[in-house]
Amino acid sequence: MQNPKLPHSQKLFRALVRVLPFDFRTNYEGEMEGVFREQHREAEERGGFLEALRLWKETIVGIFATAPQEHWQILVGDCGYAFRMMRKNLWFTAVAILTLALGIGANTAIFSVVHAVLLRPLPYPQGHQLVFLRQQAKKLGIEDMQFSVQEILDYRAQNRTLSGLVEYHDMSFTLFGHGDPERVRTGVVSANYFDLFGVKALLGRTLLPDDDRPGAPPVLLLSYEYWKNNFGSDPAIVGKTFELNDKVHTVVGVLPPVPQYPNENDVYMPTSACPFRSNKTHVESRDMRMMEVFGRLKPGLTIEQASADFSAIAAGLKSAYPKSYPDDIGFTSVASPLQEELTHTARPTLLLLLAAAAFVLLIACANVANLTLARMARRERELAVRSALGAGRSRLLRQLLTESLLLACAGGLLGLLLAYSSLTLITDFVGRLTPRAREIHIDSQVLLFTLIAAVGTSIVFGTLSALLSRTNLSSSLKDGSSGAGLGRRHNRMRSTLIVCQIAFSFMLLIGAGLMVRSLIKLQQVDAGIVPQRVLAMRTNFNWAKYTGPETTEVVVQKLLERVKSEPGVLSAAVSSRYPFEPEIITGGPESVSFSFQIEGRALEAGQAPPVSTFASVSPDYFTTLGIPLKAGRLLADTDKSKAPDVVVINESARRKYWPNEDPIGKRVSGDGGEHWVSVVGVVGDVREFGLDRTPPPEFYGAQAQNAQPATLIVRTAAEPRSMARAITQAVHDVDSQTAVTHVLTLEQARYESMASPRVTASLLGTFAGLALVIATAGIGGIMALMVSQRVREIGIRIALGARPASILRMVLRQGMLLAGLGVAMGAAGAFVLTGLVKSLLFEVPPTDILTFSAVGAMLLSAAALASYLPARRASAIDPTEALRAD
């Protein structure tokens, strides 16, 4: 018996010696054992735990240094024996490997995402020096006001912290010369854009300063994916020409397969080739903002210094141009690391999924440890006989650890395959949160993580089984019968593992339940439109043909007349925005917001001006989408370009800006009072910026007065998808050079807008489902084991008069006690951790009583079902057979 007066360090040291396979008495000469014992005694005399560990390390190193060949032989023998035992117990082996594979696979998949998105540096030279610059109007709630050409020139000339500053914006143009007219997403960038990122062309060259000069020959740079998918990786693509914006563009290069920030584009062009960016009015106006700006820090400078530098420049601009930067908008500018800018949206979701995967792995480890302990109960005789034949304790423990390691490695390999097969699904999901999704892959560090996870799990459940192994020969031989128990310590450990499994499962199920409840709430939201039998498609006109509002108004009128003449079309309209557009949902209302003034209302000093979003729509837009009229009138065919400018507002705008008066007839101006627009109607709110967002104030202008026909919306009498081809042909009948893309029903668009919460709920639900199955199987297994160990006791109880029903209740009570303790612990943990999902929920509190109650009832029901079968078996035990077996 261990001396209770020994210091804690000595007790811990002796525990290490007793558990780990250090004693090689059966394989080496006695003097080696003597050296080990002498060092152990020296460590105890000194009483220092660190000294004990040092001597322990020296002993192990010395042992392995004496006979490496013999050790390899022993290892091969252990592995061979372990394989034979695994083959002999196929059911245990299959269940253990599958359980570990699910846990390790889930963690490997999520870690590959976290590593690629959150941990890995940007794939550019000195990527930590890249920064994203942002102008803000804090009093208007605008976090990213974008930049005008004049502002970019000012920041480029006045900053002292950047070695380079470049601009970027993306547009959709129509490309001709490669089959049918094709919509291409085009990045419009400074000539030194790729030099700042350190990207060299795979073929040809990147953009040169001469390409950015006004009047320079138009050139294009193709992305690697576009070149590969659309041109079959044609090595002779450089020098070929394509028509874009009524100009012939020459391909000068192909980019390598590198991530594109901030968005994926098909082609890139210099600013001089963009008809909007190169427009003289746009270049000279300080208030026409549409560009994003990136920079590279000078060596040795920090992001804080860059932010201070740009804040000072913003203050100077505010002083020099008070009309463009009035005091009431709270104008400033800041810099942030590009890596942080690209990942801040994805971080909460990914960390939540990583925590869920870790819980699954812990539950898997606990379950396999329980399975191993149950298997140990059937191997007591074997281990006792081996011990009687001369195998030392360390020899037995090493064998058990070898078996655990092989199981974990097999589970790790299968888990790696599961993770690899799920990468496409996960990448598509993460792609909605961050442009870094394309960097996700299985690399050496992910493989190392899988190896560590496998070895770690083997140590966890292998050490648990080793710690609880028996060493007393006579008691092992005696207790080897099926009717004997293994002692309180064994049962206590197994029960503890079950309680932990249930607790972890409860926390996972709570997270999944809250996300599912949130998703259900989201699906039930009234978006303010009638999406049934509505088809939407992007229409990309060749803007070089429609240079003014008059020509655009004519082609829009022809388009609507042609589409409405198609059989089965009830109504049609055009809009400047696509319903539930992903880019708008990601950017939020701020991405299409503008400030305005209301006639007759002077702003007080420091007061922020009113802000609203804007959409340009044709008269039948509201009828086509089923948006109800609340007051006044809708837009009409008489609202032409030469008629007085009018807008229709939504109810949010009326409540916020005209709460106690009739807004009909009121006038607003978005250009400082130079032009006034009259409010002619009020319509219902539409949640097109996301079903989880409160509709912002919104203005709808007449398409004829604000020509921006980017989307065609059609309500049909029949299934809209069946009419997609006919409507597309109708568009081409009006203008064969118009590219038609993103053809979806409005129900599909609404469904896709919920992709992120839906996939998050699905992943969490999958993890929680795995945890529930594993935990339920664990309860059933431990109760079955307890029954098998208590056959003699139960037989005696029945022989003494106990009724089968009382035996059934006794076993059920034990199982439900474990489940109740697990649920209580899980509820306490869930209350602590619900903050992780709070930001992802919609109209569901993180401590939702209904979810907690439902999850608790589900777990208790599963535990009752898992305990019932062993309990029924116990109640049917024949006392005669039980006593005869003993």
Q: Which of 845, 849, 822, 825 is nearest to 835 (CA)?
A: 845
Domain stop point among 343, 366, 391: 343
627 and 668 assigned to the same domain:
yes
Q: State the residue for tokens 């599912």.
A: 516
Q: Range of 854's domain?
A: 347-524+755-884
> Which residue spans within 664-785 are E strands per DSSP?
667-669, 677-683, 698-702, 711-716, 739-745
Least confident of 387-396, 526-535, 586-595: 387-396
pLDDT at residue 114, as a whole number:
85
Residues 311-322, mean pLDDT to the nearest whole number: 89
562 and 454 assigned to the same domain:
no
Spell out the residues 6+ positions from residue 216 whose beta carbon is closer than 8 angstroms to its own: 210, 270, 272, 273
Task: Please state, for a pLDDT cut of 90, what percent of the chain lies above it.
Answer: 13
> Does any domain span residue 89?
no
The percent helix, strand, coil of the chain (3-state, each to 5) is 55, 15, 30
Residues 59-88, mean pLDDT to the nearest whole number: 61
Measured between alpha carbons, how far is 812 from 279 in angstroms, rounded to an integer?
Answer: 80
> Does any domain span residue 19?
yes
Burial classification of residue 427, based on how many CB atoms lie within 10 Å of its CB (0-12 exposed, 13-18 middle, 19 or more buried) = middle
Q: Could you report the per-residue pLDDT of 491-513, keeping only the tens digit for each?
A: 676 777 778 888 888 888 888 88
Measured between alpha carbons, how far is 690 from 546 in angstroms, rounded to an integer?
Answer: 32
* Bond into 262 cis (ω within 30): yes
- Bridge partner residues of 134 (DSSP): 334
Question: Which range, 71-75, 116-120, 295-299, 550-554, has the best average confidence (pLDDT)?
Answer: 295-299
> Does any domain span residue 534?
no
Model confidence at 59, pLDDT cuts 50, 70, 90, reads very low
Model confidence at 797, pLDDT cuts 50, 70, 90, reads confident
Q: Could you report the per-residue pLDDT of 616-638, keeping only the tens digit for each?
A: 899 999 999 999 999 999 998 88
Measured between alpha carbons, how far is 478 from 846 in angstroms, rounded to an integer?
Answer: 53
Q: Could you report the per-residue pLDDT of 650-680, keeping only the tens digit for each?
A: 999 999 999 988 999 999 888 777 889 999 9
pLDDT at residue 398, as a whole number:
67
pLDDT at residue 698, as a whole number:
92
Measured between alpha carbons, how far is 734 from 741 in angstroms, rounded to an integer?
Answer: 16
> Does any domain span residue 106?
no
**Lookup: tokens for 186:** 């085009």
Whether 3 has a pLDDT exceeding 70, the answer reads no
Task: Please state, for a pLDDT cut of 70, what percent of the chain lies above it.
Answer: 79
721 and 803 assigned to the same domain:
no
Q: Could you report the per-residue pLDDT of 376-429, keeping only the tens digit for each?
A: 656 666 666 666 655 555 666 666 677 777 777 888 888 888 888 878 777 877
Measured between alpha carbons, how far is 245 from 276 in angstroms, rounded to an integer?
Answer: 11
Whether 25 has a pLDDT exceeding 50, the answer reads no
pTM of the model: 0.68
> Does any domain span residue 248?
yes
Phi, psi of 507, rounded to the nearest 5 degrees: -65, -40
> Does any domain span residue 743?
no
Three-state SS for 95-130 is HHHHHHHHHHHHHHHHHHHHHHHHHCCCCCCCHHHE
Spell out the residues 6+ positions from residue 73 whose beta carbon is closer than 8 angstroms to its own: none
First to last CA, the chain: 30
> Does any domain span residue 746?
no
- Give me the number of domains the chain comprises: 4
Residues 599-612, mean pLDDT to the nearest whole number: 77
Counting every residue written for the chain, the total comes to 886
Question: If DSSP codes are grouped into helix, strand and coil, which group holds residue 663?
Answer: coil
Whether 483 has a pLDDT exceeding 90, the answer reads no
Model confidence at 24, pLDDT cuts 50, 70, 90, reads very low
Q: Could you report the per-residue pLDDT of 819-830, keeping only the tens digit for each?
A: 888 888 888 888
Residues 16-37, mean pLDDT to the nearest whole number: 41
Measured between alpha carbons, how far is 166 from 159 in angstroms, rounded to an integer?
Answer: 13
781 and 879 assigned to the same domain:
yes
Measured between alpha carbons, how far is 248 from 228 in angstroms, rounded to an integer?
Answer: 22
354 and 339 assigned to the same domain:
no
Q: Which of 121, 122, 152, 130 is nearest to 306 (CA)?
A: 130
Longest dimension (CA), the chain: 107
DSSP secondary structure letter of residue 737: T
Residues 103-118, mean pLDDT to the nearest whole number: 84
More confident position, 632 or 870: 632
Spell out the residues 6+ positions from residue 209 whose beta carbon is closer than 8 angstroms to its own: 191, 192
Q: Could you report the per-residue pLDDT of 742-759, keeping only the tens digit for each?
A: 888 888 888 888 877 887
370 and 427 assigned to the same domain:
yes
- Bridge partner residues of 312 (DSSP): none
pLDDT at residue 479, as a whole number:
47
Parallel, antiparallel, or unpaired for β 711-716 and 667-669? unpaired
Domain stop point among 24, 53, 80: 80
Domain stop point among 343, 378, 411: 343
> Does any domain span residue 137?
yes
pLDDT at residue 296, as a whole number:
93
pLDDT at residue 813, as a whole number:
83
351 and 337 assigned to the same domain:
no
507 and 646 assigned to the same domain:
no
pLDDT at residue 19, as a whole number:
39
User: What are the helix (H) ranges across 439-548?
Assistant: 444-467, 473-479, 488-523
671 and 819 assigned to the same domain:
no
pLDDT at residue 622, as a whole number:
92
The answer to whether 157 and 236 have CB atoms below 8 angstroms apart is no
Q: Could you report the per-residue pLDDT of 90-105, keeping only the tens digit for each?
A: 777 777 788 778 888 8
622 and 700 assigned to the same domain:
yes
Three-state SS for 76-96 is HHHHHHHHHHHHHCHHHHHHH
Phi, psi of 397, rounded to the nearest 5 degrees: -65, -40
How many Cβ atoms sit within 10 Å of the Cβ of residue 861? 12
pLDDT at residue 118, as a whole number:
84
pLDDT at residue 189, as a whole number:
92
Per the prediction, the chain carries an average pLDDT of 78
Q: Which of 748, 746, 749, 761 is nearest to 842 (CA)?
A: 761
Measured between alpha carbons, how far is 376 from 469 in angstroms, rounded to an integer?
Answer: 7
Measured between alpha carbons, how far is 475 from 461 in angstroms, rounded to an integer?
Answer: 24
Whether 126 has a pLDDT exceeding 70, the answer reads yes
CA 497 → CA 106, 408, 492, 528, distances in Å? 21, 18, 9, 51
**Lookup: tokens for 299:** 């060596």
CA 601 → CA 127, 655, 662, 668, 883, distances in Å? 49, 16, 15, 10, 97
**Lookup: tokens for 598:** 């209301």
Least confident of 93-102, 334-343, 539-548, 628-637: 539-548
Least confident of 55-64, 186-195, 452-461: 55-64
Query: How many distinct helices (H) and strands (E) make up the chain?
Result: 30, 22
pLDDT at residue 591, as a whole number:
66
CA 73 to centroid of chain Cα atoms: 47
Whether 21 has a pLDDT exceeding 50, the answer reads no
Model confidence at 160, pLDDT cuts 50, 70, 90, reads very high
The answer to whether 85 and 382 have CB atoms below 8 angstroms apart is no
Model confidence at 174, pLDDT cuts 50, 70, 90, reads confident
Residues 182-205, mean pLDDT to the nearest whole number: 89
313 and 382 assigned to the same domain:
no
636 and 711 assigned to the same domain:
yes
**Lookup: tokens for 883:** 């006593």
Question: Which range, 12-16, 645-649, 702-706, has the best average confidence (pLDDT)?
Answer: 645-649
